[in-house]
Amino acid sequence: MAEIYKIVEIVGTSPISFAEAVKAAVIEAAKTIRHMAWFEVVEERGSIADGAVLEFQVTVKVGFKLER
Amino acid sequence: MAEIYKIVEIVGTSPISFAEAVKAAVIEAAKTIRHMAWFEVVEERGSIADGAVLEFQVTVKVGFKLER
Amino acid sequence: MAEIYKIVEIVGTSPISFAEAVKAAVIEAAKTIRHMAWFEVVEERGSIADGAVLEFQVTVKVGFKLER
Amino acid sequence: MAEIYKIVEIVGTSPISFAEAVKAAVIEAAKTIRHMAWFEVVEERGSIADGAVLEFQVTVKVGFKLER
Amino acid sequence: MAEIYKIVEIVGTSPISFAEAVKAAVIEAAKTIRHMAWFEVVEERGSIADGAVLEFQVTVKVGFKLER
Amino acid sequence: MAEIYKIVEIVGTSPISFAEAVKAAVIEAAKTIRHMAWFEVVEERGSIADGAVLEFQVTVKVGFKLER
Amino acid sequence: MAEIYKIVEIVGTSPISFAEAVKAAVIEAAKTIRHMAWFEVVEERGSIADGAVLEFQVTVKVGFKLER
Amino acid sequence: MAEIYKIVEIVGTSPISFAEAVKAAVIEAAKTIRHMAWFEVVEERGSIADGAVLEFQVTVKVGFKLER
Amino acid sequence: MAEIYKIVEIVGTSPISFAEAVKAAVIEAAKTIRHMAWFEVVEERGSIADGAVLEFQVTVKVGFKLER
Amino acid sequence: MAEIYKIVEIVGTSPISFAEAVKAAVIEAAKTIRHMAWFEVVEERGSIADGAVLEFQVTVKVGFKLER
Amino acid sequence: MAEIYKIVEIVGTSPISFAEAVKAAVIEAAKTIRHMAWFEVVEERGSIADGAVLEFQVTVKVGFKLER
Amino acid sequence: MAEIYKIVEIVGTSPISFAEAVKAAVIEAAKTIRHMAWFEVVEERGSIADGAVLEFQVTVKVGFKLER
């Protein structure tokens, strides 16, 4: 039987890089979502304080297989 | 520890204006979601009846902090 | 038999708000188009004069059922 | 009182066609979501194996009315 | 002398597939438009009832040569 | 009273340049549309024959004031 | 001689509506920019606090004629 | 060692449906490309003759693993 | 040390062609900006009067190196 | 049997205009590609030197029929 | 009184990563802009020399509060 | 004589970061393509396994000068 997936949108943050922000988002999502299979980056933003980057913010869509 | 946010997509409606449709969506979402922080407008549509606007429909993405 | 719809693009204007500009566009379109069912906002612009907004301009796509 | 809708994103798959992939996604979603009203196609992809299409994958946004 | 074309936007519907919805739109358009030459898909949506796809809706832009 | 505009989509062609293709589209449209006020380029394409550009094709949206 | 315009991007905010946020942005811009002629909406967002919309935020591009 | 993929863009055609047009493109591509893994739909168009759809045309990006 | 660039958005106009409108925008910008390195076209529009193109308007983003 | 096309992406340059840049790209492509049928403009950029446009750069997708 | 923000577009470069390119852009901007609050990534490009990445180039929009 | 460039689309992968995935794609491409000059990021995705990021996948367009 053909598979069905659901996609949720999450924003991860990191003071270091975009890649670390993605990793943080996925690790957090793993606490409540099983069978995650892929992510795609939707938006890359960040906050600035005192004239320097404070935080990288990456919005990712995460896809996971629905259990049936 | 860096914050993580989740984004959900909601459509609010109002017979009056786009702003009222957004407010309606946010108030409804507040019944089940805590820590909402921002919204962004994704689409503005509406229905027409008898040659006049019946309803404004605004699709918003709403971001909220995940409790950990 | 399945329905067919046609879509036309109209720009409404208003000195007050985007919602009023949409309403004006729909009311004008109603003079020559019957069975209008929905609209979607394509673009929101406006004119400025003497350092203040003079007019809100909203481009909407309006869908209506073809009579057969 | 004005209606509020929620939108979820689902990926349906089918070895036959894009339309079948959409139908599969909607039928699966119906197991946990009530009052679904419309869908819109977000992306059409697929997998290839041995030089032929193995599976059509359609990402749809599905809108449903919130019960209040 | 160089050719000029006009483009109109039509929504076809079908309970079966996206391709059938396109065909329905083109056949209906043929009742009032001559010299249609091409179409391009702008949007694919649909309606859902009782937890299953009720109707596929395809918005197409149809181009036709202006007679001069 | 606030003005209302209608937008139509036309494809002009020219063997010389994109600008000439736009001019051709506008001149042709002027035969049936009055009060045209602006255009915006939607797409620039063209045909190739024998390894050289045969024709420039520019799709423009043309806006005109509705007479009331 | 042909005119030249410059475009700047400004974010206006308002607790009331998108239109008021645009007006606020234009009035503020008028303090330092002369000959503003038009605006176009680039993005509509907002902040949420205590489960209700706190502020509408509209990003506009504002065009003005360069003095020569 | 991490994998590298190449993406090529192909237009398949079919008188029957979008899915058949995709299948035709993939089968043709298989004559010269090995290790194809996925496709994504970029554009759906078609030609019209005598007031009916003549041909469905689907532009797909096809990804394949580079042999090393 | 790595270079930093700034991007400004300018609208050039010309009665002749899109290319001339770009040239006009760049020449005007050169009066106040040094070290301009590239441009990219953002939008192509124009005005129409008496049923013919009056003016081509091209919005360009212009990048220039910041002096340090 | 239904036709299959391949699309390649090329950047043509010209000191004169966007149209000339497209022509240059197509003539160059003709040296190695047969049966080219159409092009579509993907991006229009250019380089600036000494405060004036040095070169127009047009990225085009070129479609050609695969020989079988 | 509601806040107003201005957005400027800057390109940062780095031989190391996209994140470093963003940081470089923000630190440079801080020399002339006060009250910077956020950035969003608009484009990620880079230059290549001798078959390897020479430089990562990230275009960011930077928002800052206008002092009043 | 004006230069002509060709653009190809490649997907690089890396377990570490987006920047490393780009570098991997460029180094691999260098095995068969000479005179590569720039890249632009088209898409950033990745795979997830056991609730953590397994691989970063970056689709880049790579431009190189055609030898003549």
Domains of chain J, residue spans: 5-65
| Banded model confidence at residue J68, pLDDT cuts 50, 70, 90 | confident
Query: Can chain K be said to touch chain D, i.e. do they have 3 or more Cβ pairs within 8 angstroms?
Result: no
DSSP chain L: ---EEEEEEEEEEESS-HHHHHHHHHHHHTTT--SEEEEEEEEEEEEEETTEEEEEEEEEEEEEEPP-
**Residue J42 predicted with pLDDT over 90:** yes
**Residue J54 predicted with pLDDT over 80:** yes
Q: At what angle do helices C18-29 and B18-29 cross, to 10 degrees?
A: 120
- Cα(H18)–Cα(H46) distance, integer angstroms: 9
Q: Which homologous superfamily is G5-65 in?
A: Flavin-binding protein dodecin (3.30.1660.10)
What per-residue confidence (pLDDT) applies to J21?
98
The average confidence (pLDDT) of chain C is 95
Q: Residue type for A21, please?
A: A
| Interchain contact, F36 vs I45, CB within 8 Å | no
**Residue I1 predicted with pLDDT over 70:** no
- Calculate how close chain K gets to G31, using CA atoms only, in Å: 10
Write out the two tokens for B32.
Answer: 């089940």
Q: Residue type for J48, please?
A: I
**Residue H42 predicted with pLDDT over 70:** yes
What per-residue confidence (pLDDT) applies to G67?
82
- Cα(A38)–Cα(L56) distance, integer angstroms: 10
CB-facing half-sphere around the CA of K6: CA atoms within 13 A: 15
pLDDT > 90 in chain B, percent? 93
- Calculate how close chain L gets to J11, using CA atoms only, in Å: 5
- Cα(C57)–Cα(C60) distance, integer angstroms: 10
Query: Can chain D be said to touch chain H, i.e. do they have 3 or more Cβ pairs within 8 angstroms?
Result: yes
| Interchain contact, D47 vs H26, CB within 8 Å | no
The average confidence (pLDDT) of chain A is 95
| Interchain contact, L37 vs K18, CB within 8 Å | no
C18-36 pLDDT, tens digit per residue, is 999 999 999 999 999 999 9
| Banded model confidence at residue D2, pLDDT cuts 50, 70, 90 | confident
Query: Can chain F be said to touch chain I, i.e. do they have 3 or more Cβ pairs within 8 angstroms?
Result: yes
Q: How many CB atoms lie within 10 A of CB H43?
A: 14
A23-36 pLDDT, tens digit per residue, is 999 999 999 999 99
- Helix count (H) and strand count (E) of chain I? 1, 3
Q: Is the pTM of this model over 0.90?
A: yes
Alpha helices for chain A (secondary structure H)? 18-29
J18-38 pLDDT, tens digit per residue, is 999 999 999 999 999 999 999
- Cα(L27)–Cα(L30) distance, integer angstroms: 5
What per-residue confidence (pLDDT) applies to L13?
97
pLDDT > 70 in chain G, percent? 99
Enumerate the residues of chain A whose CB falls inside 8 A of the CB of residue L19. Answer: 19
Query: Can chain C be said to touch chain E, i.e. do they have 3 or more Cβ pairs within 8 angstroms?
Result: yes
Query: ipTM, 2 decimals?
Result: 0.96
What per-residue confidence (pLDDT) applies to C68?
72
| Interchain contact, G28 vs K66, CB within 8 Å | yes
Structure-token match 């004036």, residue found: J52
Average pLDDT value for residue range H2-14: 95
What per-residue confidence (pLDDT) applies to A68?
72
Asked whether the CA dihedral B11, B14, B18, B22 is positive or negative, the reply is: negative
Write out the two tokens for F67.
Answer: 């007479």
Enumerate the residues of chain B whose CB falls inside 8 A of the CB of residue C37. Answer: 47-48
Enumerate the residues of chain H whose CB falls inside 8 A of the CB of residue D52. Answer: 23, 26-27, 30
Q: How many CB pairs under 8 A join G and K?
A: 33
Residue among D17, D40, D41 minimizing CB distance to E17: D17
Enumerate the residues of chain J whose CB falls inside 8 A of the CB of residue L3. Answer: 13
What per-residue confidence (pLDDT) applies to E1?
58
What per-residue confidence (pLDDT) applies to C1?
59
DSSP F15: S
Q: Which of I6, I19, I7 is nearest to I57 (CA)?
A: I19
Note whether J47 contacts I: Cβ–Cβ < 8 A. yes
Q: Where are the beta strands (DSSP E) in K1-68?
A: 4-14, 36-49, 52-65
Q: Is C23 helix (H, G, I), strand (E, B) or coil?
A: helix
**Residue G68 predicted with pLDDT over 90:** no
DSSP E4-67: EEEEEEEEEEESS-HHHHHHHHHHHHTTT--SEEEEEEEEEEEEEETTEEEEEEEEEEEEEEPP
- Cα(L9)–Cα(L40) distance, integer angstroms: 10
- Cα(A15)–Cα(A6) distance, integer angstroms: 29
| Banded model confidence at residue L39, pLDDT cuts 50, 70, 90 | very high
Average pLDDT value for residue range D23-47: 96
What per-residue confidence (pLDDT) applies to D14?
97
What per-residue confidence (pLDDT) applies to C51?
96
The average confidence (pLDDT) of chain D is 95
**Residue H17 predicted with pLDDT over 70:** yes
| Banded model confidence at residue D48, pLDDT cuts 50, 70, 90 | very high
| Banded model confidence at residue D1, pLDDT cuts 50, 70, 90 | low
Enumerate the residues of chain I whose CB falls inside 8 A of the CB of residue G5. Answer: 10-11, 13
- Which residues in chain F come in under a pLDDT of 50? none
Beta bridge partners of C44: C58
Residues K67/L45, Cβ–Cβ less than 8 Å: no
Beta bridge partners of L61: L9, L40
CA distances from J53 to I19, I40, J10, L61 (A): 9, 11, 21, 25
E15-60 pLDDT, tens digit per residue, is 999 999 999 999 999 999 999 999 999 999 999 999 999 999 999 9
- Calculate how close chain I gets to K2, using CA atoms only, in Å: 26
What per-residue confidence (pLDDT) applies to H1?
58
B25-44 pLDDT, tens digit per residue, is 999 999 999 999 999 999 99
Residues K60/K25, Cβ–Cβ less than 8 Å: yes
I67 vs A13, more confident: A13
Q: Is D15 helix (H, G, I), strand (E, B) or coil?
A: coil
- Which residues in chain C come in under a pLDDT of 50? none
Nearest chain A residue to D42 by CA: give it: A7
Nearest chain C residue to B44 by CA: give it: C41
- Cα(G49)–Cα(A7) distance, integer angstroms: 27
At residue C34, φ and ψ (nearest 5 deg) are: -105, 165
What per-residue confidence (pLDDT) applies to G1?
59
The average confidence (pLDDT) of chain J is 95
| Interchain contact, G39 vs C48, CB within 8 Å | yes
B1-13 pLDDT, tens digit per residue, is 579 999 999 999 9
Residues B28/D66, Cβ–Cβ less than 8 Å: yes
| Interchain contact, E39 vs H17, CB within 8 Å | no
| Interchain contact, C48 vs G27, CB within 8 Å | no
Q: Which of L46, E17, L14 is nearest to D22 (CA)?
A: E17
| Interchain contact, H22 vs D52, CB within 8 Å | no
